[in-house]
Each structure stands twice: as C-alpha cells, then as structure tokens.
Chain A
Amino acid sequence: MDIQDDKVINCDVLVVGGGPIGSTAARFAAKNGVDDVLVIEKRQEIGSPVRCAEGISLTWLDEVEIEESDHFIKKKVKGSKLYSPNGNKMTIGKELAGDEVGGVLERDIFDKEMAVLAGREGVNFMLKTAATDVIKENGKVTGVKAKKMGEEFEIHADLVIGADGFESQVGRWAGLYEQIPSKDIMTCFQYRMVDIDIEPDYTHFYLGKVAPGGYVWIFPKGDDKANVGLGVQLNQLDGNKSPKDYLDEFIDSHEGLKKGQAVDMVAGGVSVGHPLDSVTMDGLMMVGDAARVVDPLTGGGIANGMKQAKIAGEVAAEAVEKGKVDEDFFSRYEERWRDRLEDKIWRNYMAKEKAVELSDEEFDKIIDALSEVDLTELTTEAILKAVQKKYPELVESFKDML
C-alpha cells in the first residue's frame, strides 16, 4: 500500500468485501504475483456475525487449495433426509449426495481462516472500512471512495474486485446491475439451537408450505445442537408473516425442537436466480454472491463462489502483470468461470423454478416415490424417472427436463 497523502491510498488490486470469496480472490491474486493486494471490509471483525446455515459439500476444498480441518469443519454428515409436508421421508446417502451438503462449518472461523491464508500470501486487510462509491474515469473503474471510522478517503487501484455479497453495491455504483426479481430472493431466518433431539448424522430438509418457495433446514453441529432455519421466497410470503414467524411456527410443531433453546439468531438474504449476464467491465470484476453464482436450488453460495474466486484471482494477476485491466482481457475470467459453473447453475435454476410451483400434495407424492427406489445418482433426470414410475401425471409438466 502506498499512501499518497491522507486522502488517497494506492494499490494494485483492491478487493471490496472480506467474506470468504473476497479473501480467496485476493489470495490467488497475490499468490500469482500481484505485490500490493488490499481487501477492505466494512465490518470490524471478519466472519462475524455469521449469516449462514454453514452447510457445505467437502468435494471442492482441493480445487481452491484449502486443507480440510476440523478447526472450521464442525461436523461431518453421512447424508441428507428430505421430508414432505405429510411426513414422507427419503434419505440421500453420502455416495449419492455428490455436490450436496457433507459438512457443517463454523463459518466465522472459516472466514477468518480464509483471511489468514490470504494474509500469508501478503494480502493486506483494512477493517471497519466501507466502500461508499465507485470512482470511474472515462468509463473505467479506477478505485472506490471509502470511509473508515468517520474518515473519508479514496483508494485507487489498477483493478477492483467486487466481492461484497448479496447486498452488493459495487456493481450497481459502477453500472453493472440487473435487478433481482423478488421471486429469486430468499429471505431467511435461523436459530442455533441446543438441547434438541435430532438425528445428528444427517442434514434435514423440510419441503412445502412450512417455507413457501424455500425449505426449512436442520444442519447439525453436534449431538444436541443444530442450525435450524428457513428461507422463504420473498413474493410467496403470506400477508404479515415474517420468515421468523414461519420458523417459530415450525419449531413449535416439531417434537424434537420445541423443547430446545435458541442461543443465537441469524437473518439474511440469498439470491437464487441466475448469474449476472456480465460480471466484468473495464477495471472491475465481480465475484461470489455479488456475481450471483449461488446454487439456485439449495441457496448454497460458498462452493461456487470459492471456485469462481480462484479464477478471478488468477486472471487479475495476469491482467495486472500485462497492464490489461479491461473488459476485453477479462473475457478469460468470464469464459473460465462460466465453463466451470454456469451449466449446473442454470440446470438447478430451471429445477428450482419448477419446484417452487409444487403443492404440498405433489411434494408428498414425489418424496413417497423416491423413498421406495434406490437412486444410484442424484440428478434431476434420475429423480424424475423414479417419480414417473409411480406418478406419471406428476412428471408431465417436467417433461422438457427429461
């Protein structure tokens, strides 16, 4: 970091947002040769408070060069159980879950660890520092206006990476914005509960009107502890009920939960749409939730974001080295991450669009049909075929997906 005077800071790559995705993009930029990488984070503490249900699969850690550690993986699970409104149940074993949930994180520790890994590559962090606007010259992003503990200044960079999460404003300030339709917004609420009675070796998902357009999750963090939460599609919220109201009702009706205690609360929003049409412009790359790469079916955003962040960091380093920080050059970022992630995001988006239309009775039938077969792979096609055998009429409207 080179401080010109009180009012301007210069760096090579500026990352806005110290979430796991921002830290990882910064790590890979530094690792690939950028000297001066700065991350600004508006919160005073990285990773806290947690805004996450903490469920992840364990298949992608190698790809982003992280060593699995029980320091941040609190609990591993054998599989998942899905429940329909009338109590029909199906189990997805570990070998079937593929990319689905396989572990439950300590997200605050995980986020801090991602910052530590970046720090070891020489990345600088500036906390309690918010970007308040983007600086553009001749259509190119050249930095941001920032505010740190009441002090206002500018940060100039060769390249800015927007990793500012669901609430992302960097892209909007710069002019890279598509409104998220309200059907693609999940509004979420969660308690961490203790003294509850659940099967701790599985993650649990409850479908149907307990959480319209979304689901209730129980992600175990120990034998008698779990994250219990839900996401509801914003435009399916019923009248004056908030997500918290839905969750309180669910807990009251669940034998294993209602005697438990809530020891913390989490709120948040997730976008379950498709990625931004363009995540780059001259001087700017977007990554993670800010680029809307969350898996639309599960609402999980960590894995996709991390994979994308690695590519962003690598291309950023190349761009800075060659002095080509323009949209043209960033097409290699767009191509690489879309190649890696976009197919599945779109497929899951289509599946989600169908799933949110299902009635409670339809969920009952689907889970009933699936509970009777031994699925060998968990793909949309395999699921539809299994359901078709027992309830052919149900699959009629999904035919185009087969």
Chain B
Amino acid sequence: MSVEVNFEKCMHCGACVGACPENALFLNDVALEVNENCIECGLCVKGCPVQALSLGGA
C-alpha cells in the first residue's frame, strides 16, 4: 500500500478523498481504503487535518 492510514488518528472526514487527484481513496463510513490508482503525490497526506496519513515507508 502506497499510503498508510493511521486509524488511531483518522476522523473519517473525507478531506483526503476530495483532495486526491486519482480517486485512489474510498471512505466507507469509517473505513478508509487506498486503491491501486495511487501515484504517491502526497496531496492527501498534506491535506489531512490531523496528519493521519503518510506515504508508505516514510
């Protein structure tokens, strides 16, 4: 997985989903899923209001 979700921090707000240029994120109520369309641009990481996301390996 290219983007890692810290579920302890995630507030299921969808800000990352709207910011993602590749439609690589899907928020099903409280479960945030990352799909293979991710190009690791990092926009979601930057846009998350509580820094719940990181690029894999980082």
Using a CB–CB cutoff of 8 Å, the interface residues on chain A facing chain B are 42-44, 49, 51, 128, 130, 132, 147, 165-169, 172-173, 177, 179-180, 182, 185, 187-189, 234, 237, 240, 242-244, 265-269, 271
A interface footprint on B1-23 (CB within 8 Å = 1, 0 otherwise): 00000000001111111110101
Tell me the minimal C-beta distance from A232 to chain B in angstroms: 9
Please name 7 further chain A to chain B contacts, defined as beta carbons within 8 Å, in addition to the given A180-B19, A267-B15, sorted by A numbering.
A168-B18, A169-B23, A185-B47, A187-B15, A189-B49, A269-B16, A269-B19
Whether B27 contacts A167 by the Cβ 8 Å rule is yes
* Residues of chain B with a CB closer than 8 A to A42's CB: 28-29
Q: Which residue of B lies closest to A51 (CB)?
A: B13
19 residue pairs A–B, Cβ–Cβ below 8 Å:
A44-B29, A51-B14, A130-B29, A132-B26, A167-B18, A169-B23, A169-B26, A173-B23, A177-B23, A179-B21, A180-B19, A182-B46, A187-B49, A234-B47, A242-B49, A268-B49, A269-B15, A269-B49, A271-B18
* Residues of chain B with a CB closer than 8 A to A147's CB: 28
Given A165-B14, A179-B21, A269-B15: A244 touches B50 (CB 8 Å cut-off): yes
Q: Which residue of B lies closest to A45 (CB)?
A: B29
Which of the four size classes fits the interface of chain B?
A: 20 to 34
Whether A237 contacts B18 by the Cβ 8 Å rule is no
**Which of B26, B46, B47 has the most chain A CB within a 10 Å cutoff?**
B47
A240 to B21, CA, bound (A): 21
Whether B14 contacts A269 by the Cβ 8 Å rule is yes
Asked if B48 is at the interface (CB within 8 A of a chain A CB), the reply is yes
Q: Which residue of B lies closest to A43 (CB)?
A: B29
Chain A to chain B: the 4 pairs with minimum beta-carbon distance, closest first: A269-B15, A167-B14, A167-B17, A267-B49
Q: Which residue of A lies closest to B41 (CB)?
A: A182
Whether A243 contacts B29 by the Cβ 8 Å rule is no
A147 to B29, CA, bound (A): 11
Tell me the minimal C-beta distance from A187 to chain B in angstroms: 5
* Residues of chain A with a CB closer than 8 A to B14's CB: 51, 165-167, 268-269
Asked if B43 is at the interface (CB within 8 A of a chain A CB), the reply is yes
